[in-house]
Chain A
Amino acid sequence: MKPIIQFDRTWYDSFLKHIEDNGPWAKSELFSLAYLAEKERIIPSFHGLIAPGRLPQLKLHPHQIETARTVIEEMHGKAILADEVGLGKTIEAGLIIKEYMIRGLVKKVLILVPASLVLQWVSELNAKFYIPAVAQRKAYVWEHYDVVVSSMDTAKREPHRSIVLAQDYDLIIIDEAHKLKNHKTKNYQFVQSLKKKFCLLLTATPIQNQINEIFYLVSLLKPGYLGSAEQFAKNYKSGLRSVKNEQKLKALVNQVMVRNRREDTGLHWPKRIIKSFEIPFSKAEQDFYSSLDVLKQHGIVQSFSLLTLQREACSSREAAFVTLNKIYRTTTTPVTERLWHDIFDKLNAIQQNAKAEKAVELIKQINDKVIIFTEYRATQLYLQWYLKKNGISSVPFSGGFRRNKKDWMRMLFQNNVQVLVATEAGGEGINLQFACHLINYDLPWNPMRIEQRIGRIHRLGQEKDVHIYNFATRGTVESHILNLLYNKIHLFEQVIGELDKILTHIDLNDVEKQVLTIFEESDTDGEIKIKLDNLSSVINFEQLQLKGDEDHAAGGNS
C-alpha cells in the first residue's frame, strides 16, 4: 500500500494576495536564510538520534543514549524504563521526549510523577533539555501548554480529570509506575483511559510481588501483548507468585522493557564509606533517659509510648519534651504530679547534647558540605540553633515545605551554607549530589528510609566517595538498632538499588513491627539482643535467596 501524500495548502491565499498587492516581499537575504535554516534542521534519516548533538552541555552516558534509541527504533515509543535506581531514568525519558520533539513526532506531552518530584522534573527538562515543560498549577495549563508535569493525584481529580481525558497526548510518561500494578485502582483506570500515541512507564521495581503486576503494566502499554488476563494466567502463572514458561515470558517482556543494571553500565560508582559512632550520654542525659522507665512502671504509658519517648530522648531533650508534655497534660493527676516533677527536673538539668557536640566536632573536621538527617522537627530546630551558636551556618529542609522553598533551600545549601538539616519527610525528591557527607543523627527503624536518605547523595553525578556517619547513643534502644539490625545485615553497605529489591520481598511494615514487638515484649537487654539476632538472620537469609534468584531469573536484558 502506497503511503498517503498530504500537501499543506494553507499558504496559497497568502501568496496570491502578495502577488495581487505587489508585496510586501521578503528581503532576498532572509529568503535564502529561511531556506538554509530549514535545510540545517531537516532530519536526514529515520535512524539514529539527533538530540545528543543538540545538547552539548549535557553529559550523557552510553547506556542512556542506547536506551533512548532502543525505545524509539525497536520499541516504537512504548516502553517500560526499568533501570536500577540512580542510572538516570529521568535523563533517558528527557532524551526520548527531546528526540521526538525535534523530529516533530511529539508535541503534546503529559508527565505524571509523585507530587514531590514535579518541580524537579520541570527544572531538569528545562535546564538540561531546553524542553519548555511547566508544572500544572491552574486548570487552564492542561490545554494551553504542550509539555505539562503534574502529580497523578491532581490529574485524576475533577475538575482536571475531564480536561486531561479530553486531550490527545502524543506522549505520556509515568514515573514510579510500579504504583500502577493493581488494575482495579482508580489510578490504573485513569491512566488506561488517557489518549496516547507513545508511552513510557518508569519504575525501578517492575515486579515486586505478584507475576500479575507485569501483566497489568505491559497491558497499559500494549493491550494484548501478553494476551488477555485469562490467557496470561493460563500460559504463565502457577500460583500467585510463581511463573511457568519463564524464559518465554522474559523474552516477551524484554521487548517492551529496558532494564540497565549498574554492573552493565561500566560506570564508576563512588564508594560508600560508613562510620558508626556510639556516643555516650552525658550524666544529665543518662539520668533523664533512665527516669523515663518510671512512667511505664506506674502504668502512665504503655511500652510503645515509652519506646517512642526513649527514641526521642536519644535525639534531643527538645524532641522528648514535645511528647512528654502531651502525655503529662492528658494524664496528670495529683498522685503522679511528683513523679512528673522529677522527670521534668531531670530534663531541665540537661545542659548539653552529646550527639550535637559530636556533630559539631565532626562538621568542623569534615570542613565541607554536610547533610544532617533527623526524624524530629524539634531536633531540627535545636540543631540549627546549636550549629549557629558554634558558628556553623545551616538551612532547614522539610517535606512540608512548598516547592519554591525547597528549591530555595537547596540553592542556599549549594551556594551559601555548610549544613542542611533535614527531617525525614524531606528525604525524598531532592538531589543533593554536590554534597558527599551525610550524618544520620538518629536512626529510622525502617531501613528503606535510610536508603532514601543516602540516595539523595549517592547517585549518578556524584563524583566523590560518599561518607555516611551514623550516630547512636550508647546503651539505649538506638544502639540496639544500630548494632543488630543495621550492622548485622550490612544495610548501609548495600549498593544502591539492591536494598529496595530485598525489602520489597520482605514485608517492610513487618520488619518495623517485628522490631517494635521485640522491644515491647522483652524484659531484658539480653532478650532483645537474641531476638534481634534472630530477625537479622531471617533478613540475611532472604538476601541470599534473592541474590540466587537474581542470578538465574528476573527480567534483565542479558
Chain B
Amino acid sequence: MQQAEIHDFLVRFFSSSGCSILPVSSADQLKVQLTKEMDKRLMNRPFYWHYIEQIGAEPELATLTFRLNDNDNDGEFIHFGSPRLHQIMNTVEELGRFIRMYQILPSQSAPALEPWLGLNLKISYQCDLKKDFIRSVGLQLINGTLIEGFQSMLKRLQLNQKMPDYCYTLSPLITINSGIRRIERFIEAELNTEPTDWADQANERWEKDQQLLDSFYDYQELKPERYTQEKKALEEQYKPVIKVKLINAGLFYLQSSTFLPDLIKDR
C-alpha cells in the first residue's frame, strides 16, 4: 500500500465513521477530530471514559495527527507497517462486517429486486509456510445463480442502504443457511481441483522429520512424554491445511438483468 493510498484509506475511514477532518498545512499530513465512538475504539483509555461517564462531564475528544512522510516531526508517522494503521484496519473490519443494500434503478425499469447473498472470504494455505487468496462470491437466492468477483461487480452498481420507494423485493427460495452451504460447497470443489504440490512438499518435510524423531527414540520401548509432545509439534508445524475465513457478508437486492451470462459460474 503506497502512502497516497494510505492517505486515501484514512480519509475515507474517518469521514465515513463521522470524524471531522481538520485543516492542515501540508498535503503529507492528516488531522482528525475523533468522535466519541472512535475515541473509545482507537485511543485505548478506558479509565478516562469510565471517569467522564461517572461524573457526567463533557469529554475532551482526542485529535489524531498523522504524517505520511518520514522527515517531518509533526504527528505520528503512518506507513503500511505502523501498528496504528493495523489497529484502524482491524476496526474497519469489525465495523464493516455485515451489510444490506438495495440497487437504485432508473424509474422506468422493472421494480422487482432479487435477493443475493454475497460473501467475501479469505482463503489461507498453511503449513510451515503460508499464503492467502481472496474470493468474493455472490449467490442469487431464487435460482441459485453463482458468480465470482462479486465485490468488484457491486462497485459498478448504484446501491443504497434503503429500499427505493417504487421497488419491491422478491422472496428467496433458498434460505440463508443453505445459501452459505452452497457457497462453501462451491469453494470446496474449486479448492479440490487446485494443485497440491505445496501440501505434498509439506507432507514430505513432515514425514522426514517424523522419521528422525522416531529414530531418536528408537531404542526406547516405552516412548517418553517428550516424544509425544515433539510429534504433536511436528504436526502443528507442517500439517497442510486450507483455512477459509469470512471477511464480510451481505444481503443485496439487485435487478435480474444486472449480470451478464459469462460471469455465471454455477446454477
Q: Is the CB of B249 within 8 A of A15?
A: yes
Instruction: Indicate whether A26 sits within 8 Å of B184 (C-beta atoms), given known contacts A15-B176, A105-B128.
Output: no
Q: Is the CB of B215 within 8 A of A25?
A: no
Q: Is the CB of B244 within 8 A of A6?
A: yes
* Extra 16 A-B pairs, beta carbons < 8 Å, given A6-B241, A28-B161, A42-B133: A2-B196, A3-B241, A6-B243, A7-B244, A15-B249, A28-B159, A34-B95, A35-B136, A39-B134, A43-B132, A47-B129, A103-B130, A104-B124, A105-B126, A195-B233, A198-B237
B180 within 8 A of A: yes
A54 within 8 A of B: yes
Least Cβ–Cβ distance between A200 and chain B, in angstroms:
14
Give Cα A196 to B237, complex, Å: 9
Q: Pick from B39-47, B50-58, B59-67, B97-105 the stretch touching chain A.
A: B97-105
Give Cα A193 to B224, complex, Å: 11
Give Cα A6 to B121, complex, Å: 12
Partner of B1, one of A6, A40, A77: A40
Q: Is the CB of A192 within 8 A of B226?
A: yes
Residues of chain B at interface, number, CB under 8 A: 87
Q: List 13 A–B pairs whose Cβ atoms lie within 8 Å, in order of A's numbering.
A: A3-B199, A6-B243, A7-B184, A32-B151, A38-B122, A40-B80, A42-B134, A53-B81, A130-B83, A193-B229, A197-B237, A198-B128, A222-B212
Within 8 A of B (CB), among A84-103: 103
Instruction: Indicate whether A33 sits within 8 Å of B98 (C-beta atoms), given known contacts A42-B134, A46-B130, A105-B126.
Output: no
Q: Is the CB of A56 within 8 A of B81?
A: yes
Partner of B215, one of A4, A103, A195, A228: A228
Residues of A within 8 A of B (CB): 1-8, 11-12, 14-16, 18-19, 23, 25-47, 53-57, 72-73, 76-77, 103-105, 130, 132, 192-193, 195-198, 219, 222-225, 227-228, 230
Partner of B237, one of A35, A55, A77, A192: A77
Residues of B within 8 A of A (CB): 1, 5, 9, 12-13, 15-17, 70, 77, 79-83, 86, 89, 92-93, 95-101, 120, 122, 124-126, 128-134, 136, 151, 155, 159, 161, 176-177, 180, 184, 188, 191-192, 196, 198-200, 203, 205, 209, 211-219, 226, 229-230, 232-233, 236-251
Give Cα A37 to B217, complex, Å: 47
Instruction: Indicate whether A29 sits within 8 Å of B79 (C-beta atoms), given known contacts A37-B93, A41-B89.
Output: no
Q: Is the CB of A77 within 8 A of B128?
A: yes
Q: Is the CB of A16 within 8 A of B229?
A: no
Q: Which residues of A contact B130 (CB under 8 A)?
A: 43, 46, 103-105
Q: Is the CB of A53 within 8 A of B95?
A: no
Residue of chain A at shortest CB distance from B218: A228
Least Cβ–Cβ distance between B123 and chain A, in angstroms:
9
Least Cβ–Cβ distance between B166 and chain A, in angstroms:
21
Closest 9 CB pairs of A and B: A54-B81, A34-B96, A224-B216, A224-B212, A30-B96, A29-B16, A37-B89, A42-B132, A3-B240
